[in-house]
Structure 1
Amino acid sequence: MTMSLSDKQPTENESLKRSREKQKKEDAWKPDGPKDLFSMLDSLPESKQQEIQKALHLFSLGPTLPKTLQQAKKHTYRFWETQPVPRLGDSVETHGPIVEGEASVRMEPYSLPQGFSWDTLDLSNPSVLKEICTLLNENYMEEDDNTMRFEFSSVYLQWALQPPNWLAQWHCGVRVDSNKKLVGFIAALPADVRIYETDKRMVQVKFLCVHKKLRLKRMTPVLIRELTRRVNQQGVFQAVYTAALVLPTPLSSCRYWHRPLNLRKLMELSYPGLKQNLSLQRAVKFNRLPDVTKTPGLRRMTEEDAAGVHSLLQANLGKFHLSPMLSLREVEHWLLPRENVIDTYVVQGDDGTLTDMVSFYSVSYRVLNHPVHTDLRSAHLLYVTSTATDPVDLMEDTLVLAQTKRFDIFFALNVMDNQSFLENLKFSISDKSLHYYLYNWMCPTMSPDKVGLVLPN
């Protein structure tokens, strides 16, 4: 029987052609967009991103690092065991470097996983500064329940990362080769620090951050090694840093204390650590502050006060075992008021001299998935020095000022002489600790009241 044209079986080329045309029609209905993983995830709605990030945190990231000394003693620190830091459990009585400065410093950068490259980040470039803000806001120290994120601003990061004598090569970034996305960051700042009786030039290490989707690639140790190499190139071999996790080995372990300022908002946010045995009405009454300050001569710091504040700090910080040796320029940078960044107040005596000072910096959070509130503003105590005013009275006035500036909560560490006013002013102890560490320096450990250094992070 003769087969008609329509009855013929399609050839292999014709089948392939029809398959391609069918696929082309189907693709026409697909949304356009970049194919790389980061861009695809970033294109999802915010609520879907949060679900994925929470799943990554709870499932994909594996075991977390220890948060207590008991957990740390059972943990194996593969990276830190290779570094010049005291071992957990060692009793140190001597003072000095663990490893002397190397005669020759490695010149070539450390290798990154394939597809990534180093970048020295120029913070004077607004677009670069914005990239760092985005990376930190989306990935830096996120809460376990994914309810809040840091909301760092450009002006805050300029303050926190560009003190006098800052170096661009100590702002170290990692980018994806394919799209130049910033996925890793670590910074070091020059600092003169007194450790017991020794004055030492070192660096403060801040804002270690790796994109949460890359934490299984063990990029953190490479970031630390590369920053260490860059710091060593400038002849600096010691560092000070803080962490909420227990690493080898804490020089001192401090606790956060917090004081509610906007109690109603905190309760609506189910903020942890609030007194649960009080009704809202009783809690508001219990935490009520005066309407106005009461310390005579208390006012906002000005440029003309820098020398007087410098003298007050030098006299006060010298009595602690770990303290910064601030120059006049550094006092101006760190303490002169900047809106939504740093607030400093001084008390001026009748003869015009400055007798007291207090400062606190601002950290904001973005609240996720709440029907009413979208942000949380926290004030963090930086330095307080009092010679003529009772510390409790000075700090109560500070709380009044912070509440007037619409902060929701006030934080303080139990360092320096802070313990003298924390309980009196109804601060509550937090379940969060902050540990201080020294890199390539050994000395005896110290109690929190002997720590005179605060690192805004």
Structure 2
Amino acid sequence: MAEAAKSPSKEDRDEDEEAEDEEEDENENENEEGAQTGEKKKKQKKKPAKTEGTAGYPSTANGEEEKEDPDQQQHLLQMLRKRGPCEESRRQTAREHLFWDTQPVPSMGSEYGQDSGPLDELRTVDDVRAEPYPLPDKFEWCTCNVDDDKEIDEIYTLLTENYVEDDDSMFRFDYSIHFLRWALKPPEFLRSWHLGVRVQGGGKLVGFITGIPAKIRVFEKSIQMAEINFLCVHKRLRSKRLAPVLIKEITRRVNRENVWQAVYTAGVVLPRPISECRYWHRSLNPKKLIEVGFSHLGARMTMARTIKLYKVPDMPQLPGMREMKKEDVPRVHGLVLNYLRKFTLHPEFTPEEVEHWMLPRPGVVYCYVRENEKGEVTDVCSFYSLPSSILGHAKHNTLKAAYSYWNVASTVPLQDLMYDALILAKQQDFDVFNALDIMENESFLKELKFGIGDGYLQYYLYNWKCPRIEPRGIGLVLL
């Protein structure tokens, strides 16, 4: 499901290049096997992304505009420390993509047409090989049981030690076990789509990739897809070319369920994105962010002035804000479903899926509704928790990051609703609040003092061509 706000890490880059360079090692029968849908959606998405600046000065707690001198505004734009040159090098599109050029995805140099539809010829389940793809010697496939405490702990350890990391090796995603179970067990999930690679003989877990079912609308067509996520290979085994085989095998398993399309995201440019989005970041605990190197103190800025600039009120400003309850699910489902219809690419949730994805879970997902005088739920905001380990710091070991999720403002401006979301996230002790420039988010990013990130997040569809979609047409958030 989704990508992280952070830019791709060196480890992520290795996995992508590994997939691209795999063509000569692929099983020679691959092109006869039928449409493959499992593309890895690298979680390159949310890193404790270090942003480049903040622009715009929203109202302070007392409703008056806070005025800053021009020098301060200029230095605020340099508040968050820049990433090195890695991001640009990862965005080179001229090089060959040997693995992806064998897959049913548009080539990098192809034009964006106006038609939509599958790229591969129609197949049936009987056309898909029944046996798993072969692995290199000394490795074996396993289906992971995320309900088993020992197995979920192995998955957690693999991801915590080998998954998305920033280019400077300062931060690494720290998906909690509760988060992983939430992310991987939506209604109608298939255990066979939780795929692992072990050392032969039931040994150590060294590779992982997942899919979950989702109904996705693209333009005017509703398609049953797999959301592909959590591709991870142990750092010491990146030379074994396990990533392409993981992608091929999850594709085979998805196809065997008569599902032929997939959606995924990545921080790198692969053949070929349907949309390119940016992460924005709003500081909630600037002192800590500066101490850990996530951001730095701007020229002519003191710590006291910086803390004041990002301070939010202690309590929500909109009347009627409260935590979502189970009895709110039907109303929230209606609000979210109706809102998402505005966007070119969006999920079509069932009430059961809205209950799963949005009902609050401590330390995982937070959801609040606004109730009017008649007791009717009129607005909803939500965010999820994805912390990062802080590597090698003497004082701090965890960066708490909240990520904007599903937000519907039907009776108040979206900016006012998201201001309360910031306040609620601060109440939960988050250090930073991240949001993509998708949906209608541009209407509040600058005004609420978000700084634009230097990382990009590409959205991809597997075995489906369609016109390019602007970020404001994206109504899908992947974890």
With the shorter chain as reference, the TM-score category is 0.7 to 0.9
SS of 1:152's equivalent?
A: coil
Residues in 2 aligned to 1:196 and 1:352: alpha-carbon distance in whole angstroms: 35
SS of 2:132's equivalent?
A: coil
Cα contact 1:256–1:432 (8 A) shared by 2: yes
**Cα deviation, residue 58, structure 1:** 12
Cα contact 1:85–1:439 (8 A) shared by 2: yes
**Cα deviation, residue 351, structure 1:** 1.8
Q: Which residue of 2 aligns with 1:13?
A: none
Q: Which residue of 2 aligns with 1:100?
A: 121
- The 5 Å alignment of 1:130-141 reads 130-141=153-164
**Cα deviation, residue 277, structure 1:** 5.3
- The 10-residue stretch of structure 1 (307-316 or 276-285) with the greater mean CA deviation from structure 2: 276-285
Percentage of identical aligned residues: 45
Q: Which amino acid aligns with 1:98?
A: L
| Residue of 300, 324, 327 corresponding to 2:350 | 327
Q: 1:338 to 1:275 in 2, by over 3 A?
A: farther
- The 5 Å alignment of 1:242-321 reads 242-272=265-295, 275=298, 278-321=301-344
| Residue of 72, 75, 95 corresponding to 1:75 | 95
Q: 1:276 to 1:329 in 2, by over 3 A?
A: farther
SS of 1:256's equivalent?
A: strand
Residues in 2 aligned to 1:125 and 1:57: alpha-carbon distance in whole angstroms: 28
**Cα deviation, residue 273, structure 1:** 7.5
SS of 1:73's equivalent?
A: coil
**Cα deviation, residue 369, structure 1:** 1.3
**Cα deviation, residue 276, structure 1:** 5.3
Cα contact 2:11–2:165 (8 A) shared by 1: no
Q: Which amino acid aligns with 1:387?
A: S
- CA RMSD of superposed structures (Å): 2.2
Q: Which residue of 1 aligns with 2:191?
A: 168
Q: 1:439 to 1:118 in 2, by over 3 A?
A: same
Query: 2:110 aligned with 1:90, yes or no?
Result: yes
- The 5 Å alignment of 1:15-54 reads none
Residues in 1 aligned to 2:16 and 2:463: alpha-carbon distance in whole angstroms: 29
Cα contact 1:61–1:216 (8 A) shared by 2: no
Residues in 1 aligned to 2:251 and 2:402: alpha-carbon distance in whole angstroms: 31
Residues in 2 aligned to 1:73 and 1:122: alpha-carbon distance in whole angstroms: 38
Residues in 1 aligned to 2:186 and 2:262: alpha-carbon distance in whole angstroms: 16
**Cα deviation, residue 144, structure 1:** 2.3
Q: 1:57 to 1:302 in 2, by over 3 A?
A: closer
| TM-score for the superposition, normalised by structure 1 | 0.84
Q: Which residue of 2 aligns with 1:387?
A: 410
**Cα deviation, residue 368, structure 1:** 1.8
Q: Which amino acid aligns with 2:369?
A: V
Cα contact 1:117–1:177 (8 A) shared by 2: yes
Displaced runs of 4 or more, over 3 A: 56-72, 272-277
- The 10-residue stretch of structure 1 (60-69 or 189-198) with the greater mean CA deviation from structure 2: 60-69
Residues in 1 aligned to 2:370 and 2:14: alpha-carbon distance in whole angstroms: 52
**Cα deviation, residue 70, structure 1:** 8.9
Q: 1:275 to 1:306 in 2, by over 3 A?
A: farther
| Residue of 152, 157, 165 corresponding to 1:142 | 165
Q: 1:447 to 1:264 in 2, by over 3 A?
A: same
- The 5 Å alignment of 1:444-455 reads 444-455=467-478
> Which digits, 9 at most, give the CA deviation of each residue in 1:295-343, with x for residues without a partner?
0111100000000000001110001000000000000000000000000
> Which digits, 9 at most, give the CA deviation of each residue in 1:249-303, with x for residues without a partner?
0110000000000110001011148755522121111111122211011110000
Query: 2:394 aligned with 1:371, yes or no?
Result: yes
Q: Which residue of 2 aligns with 1:239?
A: 262
- Aligned residue pairs total 402
Query: 2:127 aligned with 1:127, yes or no?
Result: no
Cα contact 2:188–2:213 (8 A) shared by 1: yes
Give the gaps of 5 or more residues in structure 1.
1-53
Q: Which residue of 2 aligns with 1:33?
A: none
Q: Which amino acid aligns with 2:98?
A: R
Q: 1:366 to 1:70 in 2, by over 3 A?
A: closer
> Which digits, 9 at most, give the CA deviation of each residue in 1:379-423, with x for residues without a partner?
000111001011111111111111111000000000000000000
Q: Which amino acid aligns with 1:87?
A: S
**Cα deviation, residue 433, structure 1:** 1.0
| Residue of 363, 372, 375 corresponding to 1:349 | 372
Residues in 1 aligned to 2:370 and 2:461: alpha-carbon distance in whole angstroms: 34
> Which digits, 9 at most, give the CA deviation of each residue in 1:101-151, with x for residues without a partner?
323111111111111010011112111111100000011112222222222
| Residue of 158, 162, 171 corresponding to 2:181 | 158
Residues in 1 aligned to 2:350 and 2:11: alpha-carbon distance in whole angstroms: 42
SS of 2:406's equivalent?
A: strand
Cα contact 1:150–1:363 (8 A) shared by 2: yes
Q: Which amino acid aligns with 2:343?
A: F
**Cα deviation, residue 100, structure 1:** 2.9
> Which digits, 9 at most, give the CA deviation of each residue in 1:61-94, with x for residues without a partner?
9979995599432211110000000111322221
Q: Which residue of 2 aligns with 1:23?
A: none
Residues in 1 aligned to 2:414 and 2:430: alpha-carbon distance in whole angstroms: 21
Structure having greater relative contact order (Cα 8 Å, sep ≥ 6): 2
Q: 1:276 to 1:87 in 2, by over 3 A?
A: farther
Query: 2:413 aligned with 1:400, yes or no?
Result: no
Residues in 2 aligned to 1:256 and 1:275: alpha-carbon distance in whole angstroms: 21
Cα contact 1:120–1:172 (8 A) shared by 2: yes
Greater share of residues in helix: 1
Residues in 2 aligned to 1:268 and 1:338: alpha-carbon distance in whole angstroms: 30
- The 10-residue stretch of structure 1 (407-416 or 208-217) with the greater mean CA deviation from structure 2: 208-217
| TM-score for the superposition, normalised by structure 2 | 0.80
Residues in 2 aligned to 1:203 and 1:273: alpha-carbon distance in whole angstroms: 40
Q: Which amino acid aligns with 2:248?
A: R
Residues in 2 aligned to 1:144 and 1:438: alpha-carbon distance in whole angstroms: 26
SS of 1:155's equivalent?
A: helix
Q: Which residue of 2 aligns with 1:414?
A: 437
Residues in 2 aligned to 1:58 and 1:168: alpha-carbon distance in whole angstroms: 25
SS of 1:422's equivalent?
A: coil
- The 10-residue stretch of structure 1 (412-421 or 85-94) with the greater mean CA deviation from structure 2: 85-94
Query: 2:247 aligned with 1:224, yes or no?
Result: yes
Residues in 2 aligned to 1:309 and 1:128: alpha-carbon distance in whole angstroms: 34
